[in-house]
């Protein structure tokens, strides 16, 4: 003969309470996830703005570098010409048409 099983009258109440607690936990997780997602989106947008600013500055610095390089090349050529004149190995170029030496 099989033992007789009894159902505790409190089981449906406990099950209902557990189901309610579980639903509350899911709700809390969903709210936390939404807050985290919002924060991540704000950080992503800010990082995109910073990247755009860095790209602009990088372009500006490249242009400054190019200008300085051109100026340096011009000064180097002028210095080479001056040194050539001082050493007597290069002809003197007229700086203005019709100027006398």
User: Is 90:84 a contact under the CB 8 Å cutoff?
Assistant: yes
* Angstrom distance (rounded) from CA 46 to CA 49: 5
Vertex 82: Cα angle to 81 and 85 (nearest 5): 90
Q: How far apart are the first and last CA of the chain?
A: 135
Q: Give residue 15's pLDDT.
A: 87
pLDDT tens string 13-33: 888 899 999 999 999 999 999
pLDDT tens string 51-82: 999 999 999 999 999 999 999 999 999 999 99
Region 79-100 average pLDDT = 71
pTM over 0.85: no
Q: Give residue 88's pLDDT.
A: 87
């Amino acid at each position: 003969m099989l033992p007789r099983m009894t159902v505790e009258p409190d089981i449906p109440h406990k099950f209902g309470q557990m189901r309610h607690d579980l639903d509350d936990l899911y709700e809390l997780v969903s709210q936390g996830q939404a807050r985290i997602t919002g924060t991540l989106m704000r950080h992503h947008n800010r990082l995109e703005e910073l990247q755009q600013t860095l790209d602009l500055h990088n372009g500006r610095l490249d242009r400054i570098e190019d200008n300085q390089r051109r100026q340096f090349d011009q000064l180097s050529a002028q210095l080479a010409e001056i040194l050539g004149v001082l050493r007597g190995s290069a002809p003197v170029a007229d700086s203005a048409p019709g100027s006398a030496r």
